[in-house]
Structure 1
Amino acid sequence: MSLSQLGGGPTFQNHIQGTVGQFTTPAGKVNYLMTKARLGAEATDPERRLTQHLAPVREVIQAEELDFSQLLQRDLDDHRVAVNLVPYLLNPDWTGPAFFPPIVAIALPFLKQHPSSFPNLGLAQSVSDLGLTWSQQDAGQHLRTRRLLGANHDFNPVALGQLWWNSEFCRIVVVDGQHRAMALLAIDRTVRATWQDSGGARYRYFYESRIKEILKDSKNISLDDIEVPVTVLWFPDMFGSDKDPHKAARKLFVDVNKEARAPSESRLILLSDSELANILTRTTLTQLRNQATDEFLPLYCVEYDNPDTKTTQSARWSALTNIHVLKQMATRVVFGPPRYIKKVDTQMGKREPEEERNAFMRTQLSVDKLFPPTLPGDENFARDKLGNLSFPESAIAPLADAFEQSWGRALLTLLSETLPFKAHAEALTKLKESWLPDDTAATLAHDALFSGVGMFWTLRDSASYYQEERAVDSTAVKPDVVKAWDLIAKKQSEFEELRAQELLGSKSKRLAANQLYQAVNTHACQLGLALTLGTLHTLAREGDASVVAVAQRMVKAINAWMTSKTAGDYDRRVALAKRRDGFPKSPLNVIANMDAPRAIQFRYFWLEILASSQAAPELAGTLSSTVVGQHRDIARRAYLEYVTGEKEKALKTSAPGLTDAERKSQARSSAASELQMALLRWFGLTSSDWEAWKKTPAATAPPTPASSHAPSSDADADVSTVGEEMEDEADGESEETVSIEDLIAPDSE
């Protein structure tokens, strides 16, 4: 016991007072205290001190140590705060009266910046203080609540209350109005010169000079007149070591924002506990964050903080993948629906029966081995009712763990070890390790790429704002935040050279490598690889090989093909690049766009690679090469039909005079010719292989020809039998083509 506790209960450093009340939400009962925070000269009143204790999540939990399962909300648009909200508070003359809706914060337990739990809340007792009688409850040294009592020791009609806490164990974390709170904090820290003593020192460069300039130019500003309403919440039923107030806070945050400005999809994935797919996605991110060794790609290769809507590719050049791709990959291999896994020629549609998806999940995660038929709990829950939107809290940890050890680990293996992805991650790591920030701009740029959550987007917006300022005032001084953005752009070139070196062995091949990554860093490519994993694990697995073992064999097989030699100058490492400016010649990938539905076509590419003679030895004992070849044949036919359809659409514009029959015939012929040429150049596919494939029934593809794709030695590939129409590009490609009717056996019509 400390000396301060002799002769009494625990002592508390900080307190606020105001009107108290209670309401009920899906997160449970919530108590609240309405008060205010203010600016002004140094003072000891609770309102003045509250300003200093309002904590954005990023200052309570450092991004480097953030656990995605504990996340509340973390990204702050410092640019918007600095250029909009700070002037709004400090310049009432031109903005009108400064008024903010209440900032909402929650009292939450922390221990050394890690989320913890509150002690049990003690019984209420009557205490006297300053001539008033209060009903008081203590939760150890973490928190104390008080409610004013009347003459009969009932609650006083004047709902006056107090909240006391110690910052060592409890923090007042902002969950709504974080930008308003940051404006208040930024002004306070600038005026009192306390940035360095706060948890947000790295963000001072967005605010300090701008605030000082406003204060210098505006002589009539009275900081004492600036105050903001604050509502502080706590959960009365979340005291005790077995309770999780942080989870309740996450749920409350999502509920509060449902009817307000919609949070970005990235944020909802990070926050929502109502959808199992979101929880599994966060499990994957946490798996990357907590990896003890460099088993998988580093977390800074993943874009998970984009405030915008999802896109076909990550917006940040340093990102290999993003949170939307991870969710789609997890969703498809776990929830299916099974037709997308078992039928490689089925296109993605909108109708996906929920129970079909849930039943598939129960199979993929072996739910029957995780739980008894009825899950115990406050309310019994039938095991066969578990689904994406239906699960008891007791089931979350076992399901997440089962995913992490199986499909989650397998997906990360694919993203970490497949040659193009591995080269990207290793190049980015080399950039990080060789970059030693030596000034403010470099530190900001480094943080934006490797650690500062939300920093990248704030620097982007600051740079855009500076360009607008320059258009009005050419003498505007470039601030450090804009210099940081310029440095990020410069580092992109350096990274791309490192990536070309890692993948292709030469920095001079940067443009070729960039063109490949325009395809492989997309939703279509990565989701297509996940679908390939799901298909082969379900249909081609030999014995009881685990999904992780299947992924490991797939990676070895793909890499073996990519690093093997062709008969010409076709480097298989860039085989998936989409053609641009004549590169690559005879492209295999002619997909019009790279969004998620095109994952079906990309699965064909992966199957084509895995069915090759170079890949086959790496699959032996784990996957049946015969079955892989069968599904490659089906997927190839579907891809040919897709390309035919795209060409037919294009001809409607380029050759409007053609009849429908002429347009269809021309599209079919062109698509078949181009695909045959691509398979010759990239896979060494002979004309006899092509003819054999043409004769396989579409619905029930037989085993692939013994020759597979290519002779045992690509260097000796016999291309002389391909036909005169398959001349080398150097001599020009002939217009003579094979019709689509010849590709489809009569009994498959």
Structure 2
Amino acid sequence: MSFEYTPESALTLSMNGTSGTFKAGHGNETIEVKYLLTHVSLDPNSSQDKSLLRELAPFREIFDFKDLEFDELMQRDIDDARVSHELIPYILDEKNQAAVKFFPPIVVLLLPTETNQVKPAAYYEKVETIEEPFKTIKGVERWSCIRSGSPGNEVFQFDQPILFGDKPDSHNFVTLRVNPNKSKLVIVDGQHRAMALLALYRNTQKGWDGETKEAFKQYYEEWTPDFINTFDLSGIKLPIILCTLPDLDSDYVGDFNLKKAARSIFLTLNQNARPVSNVRNLLLDDNDIISSFLRGILAQVKNRDLTEDNSFRIFNVELDQVDNKVKLQSTTAFTGVQHLYYIIEHLLLNSDDVNGVSPRSGRFKSRKSDGYINGLKRRLNTSDVLGTDVDSTISRSSFSNKVESILSKQFETIYGKSVLTIFEKLFPFSIHCDSVLTLKSEIEETADKTIKSIFFDGQGVAKVFEKHRSSLNEKYKDRASPELKELLDQIDGKAKAIEKLQLKFKENRFNRFISALTDKSKLNDENGNINTDLKELVNGIFDNSLTTVAFQSALICGFFHIFEQVSTSFDGNADVSLCEELDNYLDNLNVFFKPKSFSQFKKFVSVFSGKLTGDNGSNIQYIERSADSFRNVVCRSEMQPDLWPKYRYLLLELWKPKSTEMQKVIDRELDECRNQVFIELYEDGLKQFCKAKLIHESDLGKEGREQIFDESFASYKGFLKNLTNSVAALDINYYRKLI
């Protein structure tokens, strides 16, 4: 007698519900999503719901940030304060404990993992349609079953009975079974709703095990098991949609993959529901080649490890800029997603329309016409690497995966590596990154997961922590139990520790900034300590100038605007070497940005912030936005990103290229910039003078005009002397004729 061996199924998580389909993708590039609509409850007697809640988790808990490629990062941050103080009370209606509130469905994607790794795979294992359900049901003879993977090693199986005709029934006996060891239930929409449910489940079931969960446990500690159990948990049922994409298996030959499909589902749901941050859309947009280049450059930074010879890391980039604010909020970051996207746009879609210090005009997001795209193609040599036939078909928003990969490599080779070099080697950025690594080591020694998360796990986390702290103090300030009072004290203690670490980081960065000074003692006040005002001034320059979109765009786009006028070749065989000129450019700038004496330190502050006078830190005097500062001479309005040509001018004054051809271009650009700067300075002085005297410009006499000219020329002269230690470029007679 022989027996046929049937391997035991690996599908240990089972869910029943209703099936349906919808399309994901863009334009003609779509893929079918097959889903199961079911619900999940907190019923303590339901083993199926407990199994689902054990496997369900937000993205931040399933995949480790350091193990993912950058294009695999989707939604990571959760506003735990909002979940704890708004959504959980919404579910547990304290005014009416019998009431149960309703949420829209939580949308989950069944994402397979790489073999022996907790890392998302690009495709399912082979998907087949079979006629054998996981479990037969009496009275049902025909089935339509979709299975990924081989028996005993399955990823998932979708079972639908055929009750009438030839079509699978969508409502009766539909089951989705999953192998949690080969796939993960990744929430692509509704993380906050899901987290409210998970927090209640975990608090009653001791389910906060694991390092990734522990960092967020504290946000939900006020919801004690005793309090939660006063509610009828069996009545709390929330809808959930579990999505699969059966066409995306190992035999698929198109341009789609599961990561791209997940981004498409996320963007579609969020763009049509309520607006998400512009930063998130920039990162996830698969229909913008600029976003592809952005992800590529960030992936290079993210994949760095201890062997790198520089300290620039992914946590130095603000990935989740809060409320679409351009100004950085993170302690550890010196640049951000919006910074880099803006820079890449202005690098590749520039149409030679930089005009002295005039603002850049137009919306680059709308630069999609052939004229602009041809400039991008020329800069990336697309016809050579793609061939003319393929090259003629691509646009900013239309390209295949293969084309995207080739062009991303082109961008990395031509521009990307230079952008990273600038960020790595400009002295202020370099010392910022060094100081962040010191901060990281110090935090890791304390083993406080919450504090580490606030500094290094996404820029929204710090805001969430402070929101949570504020809400708890407001809620329980007059009625805190001993346990809650202890919780409040713990959170307040962490807040103080965070503030102390932030101050220590800035202190460390300042000390690195002055490390080259040969006469550091001149910074000391009468007590022999470094004057705290000087520290604040330098920190202010970092926050308000060096880390802005405008400054960084000038730094990078300004260099390439000059280089591209003398060379269209970026390899080592060019007449003008990119690497050599870039290194020289940074060396020139660092002469100013790395002061080596107290005198140079004063000039640096005087240019970017305001005039510093005095012999040492004990008698120093400061005039904010003094007449000879950058913010009075060059840019008197609020510094917006499109005003970056004004910073470009400042950098041009510091740059002495090796190439004589480049020097000719710079000289020509400087003449134009200087003329514009002085004319604008004089005309603004004229307006202010007439406004103060309550007269019209036509009534201003020669003496008044001479006074305004002299004051304007003196301000410009003082600015240049602080910046370059030279005023040779200023011919007073020339400027008299100019105005």
Correspondent of 2:383 among 368, 379, 386: 368
| Counterpart code for 1:161 | V
Per-residue CA shift, 1:533-574, capped at 9, x if unaligned?
221211245944464544333112211344477895664554
2:540 to 515, 526, 546: 515
Stretches of structure 1 that go unaligned for 5 or more consecutive residues are 376-382, 611-615, 696-739, 745-749
Aligned residue in 2 for 1:701:
none
Residues 640 and 480 (structure 1), Cα distance of their counterparts in 2 relative to 1, 3 Å cut: farther
- Kept in 1, the 8 Å contact 2:322–2:329? The answer is no
2:648 to 603, 619, 639: 603
Match of residue 721 from structure 1: none
| Whole-angstrom distance in 2 between the partners of 1:485 and 1:231 | 38
C-alpha separation in 2, matches of 1:182 and 1:157 = 29
Partner of 1:411: 419
- Alpha-carbon distance in structure 1 between the residues aligned to 2:173 and 2:282: 38
Query: Are the aligned partners of 2:428 and 2:593 in contact in 1 as well (CA < 8 Å)?
Result: no
CA contact (8 A) 2:106 2:194 kept: yes
Q: In structure 2, how many angstroms separate the alpha carbons of the residues matched to 1:582 and 1:338? A: 38
Higher relative contact order (CA 8 A, sep 6+): 2
* Partner SS for 1:247: helix
- One-letter identity of the residue aligned with 2:314: L
In the aligned structure 1, how far is the partner of 2:493 from the partner of 2:565?
54
Counterpart of 1:387 in 2: which secondary structure? Answer: coil
Shifted more, 538-547 versus 95-104: the winner is 538-547
CA contact (8 A) 1:144 1:163 kept: yes
Partner of 2:441: 433
Which residues in structure 2 correspond to 1:372-383 (within 5 Å)? 372-375=387-390, 383=391
Tell me what 2:66 maps to: 64
Query: Secondary structure of the residue that 2:296 maps to in structure 1?
Result: helix
Deviation at residue 668 of structure 1 after TM alignment: 5.6
In the alignment, is residue 316 of structure 1 matched against residue 344 of structure 2? no
What whole-Å deviation, never above 9, does each CA across 1:127-148 have from its counterpart, x for those lacking one? 4613244321211121111111
In the TM superposition, residue 85 of structure 1 has moved relative to its aligned partner by 0.9
Equivalent-residue separation in structure 2 for 1:488 and 1:395 (angstroms): 45
Deviation at 1:409, TM superposition (A): 1.4
Distance 2:598 2:566 in 1: 30
| Alpha-carbon distance in 2 for matches of 1:396, 1:510 | 45
Partner of 1:37: helix, strand, or coil? strand
2:291 is matched with which residue?
278
Distance in 2 of aligned mates of 1:672 and 1:474: 65
Aligned match of 1:55 in 54, 57, 81? 57
Retained in 2: the 8 A contact 1:33–1:233? yes
Q: Which residue of 2 aligns with 1:30?
A: 33
**CA positional deviation for 1:200:** 2.0
Partner of 1:672: 713
Aligned to 1:747: none
The equivalent residue for 2:525 is none
- Give the Cα–Cα distance (whole angstroms) in 2 for the partners of residues 667 and 256 of structure 1: 59
| Range that drifts further, 397-406 or 21-30 | 21-30
CA distance in 2, matches of 1:30, 1:83: 34
CA distance in 1, matches of 2:158, 2:170: 17
* 1:70 counterpart letter in structure 2: E
Aligned residue for 2:129?
123
How far the C-alpha of 1:86 sits from its partner, in A, is 1.3
Distance in 1, matches of 2:66 and 2:537, equals 34
* TM-score, normalization by structure 1: 0.83
**Whole-Å separation in 2 of the counterparts to 1:199 and 1:682:** 49
Task: Give the percent of matched residue pairs that are identical in Structure 1 and Structure 2.
Answer: 21
Indicate whether 1:398 and 2:406 are aligned. yes
Contact 2:604 2:722 in 1 (8 A): no
Q: CA deviation at 1:166?
A: 0.8
- Write the mapping of 1:330-729 to structure 2, written as runs, cut at 5 A: 330-340=344-354, 343-350=355-362, 353-355=367-369, 356-375=371-390, 383-438=391-446, 442-452=448-458, 454-469=460-475, 477=485, 478=488, 480-505=490-515, 508=531, 509-517=534-542, 518-540=544-566, 543-545=574-576, 547-563=578-594, 571-574=602-605, 576-579=607-610, 581-582=622-623, 586-590=628-632, 591=635, 592-610=637-655, 616=656, 619-621=657-659, 624-644=662-682, 646-647=684-685, 654-659=692-697, 662=700, 665=705, 670-686=711-727, 689-691=729-731, 695=734
Q: 1:537/1:529 Cα in 2 relative to 1: closer, same or farther (>3 Å)?
A: same
Name the counterpart of 2:524: none
Give the whole-Å Cα distance in 1 for the aligned partners of 2:375 and 2:347: 9
Deviations 1:562-606 (A, max 9, x none): 447789566455464222841586423433322202201000011
SS at 2:32 equivalent: strand
Given that 2:595 and 2:601 are in contact with CA atoms closer than 8 Å, whether structure 1 keeps it comes out as: no
Task: Report if the CA contact (8 A) 1:103-1:174 is conserved.
Answer: yes
Q: Distance in 2 between matches of 1:672 and 1:289?
A: 48
Aligned to 2:145: 136
The one-letter amino acid paired with 1:373 is T
Cα distance in structure 1, aligned partners of 2:575 and 2:730 = 34
Distance 1:94 1:548 in 2: 69
The 10-residue stretch of structure 1 (155-164 or 406-415) with the greater mean CA deviation from structure 2: 155-164
Per-residue deviation, 1:227: 1.2
The CA RMSD measured in Å over matched residues stands at: 3.1
Cα deviations across residues 593-621 of structure 1 (Å, max 9, x unaligned)? 222022010000110111xxxxx3xx325
1:521 is matched by which residue type in structure 2?
Answer: T
Distance 1:657 1:472 in 2: 61
Q: Which moved more, 1:464-473 or 1:561-570?
A: 561-570
- Whole-Å Cα distance in 2 between the matches of residues 161 and 149 of structure 1? 10
**SS of 2:471's equivalent?**
helix
Do the aligned partners of 1:407 and 1:548 also contact (CA within 8 Å) in 2?
no
Between 56-65 and 236-245, report the one with greater CA deviation: 236-245
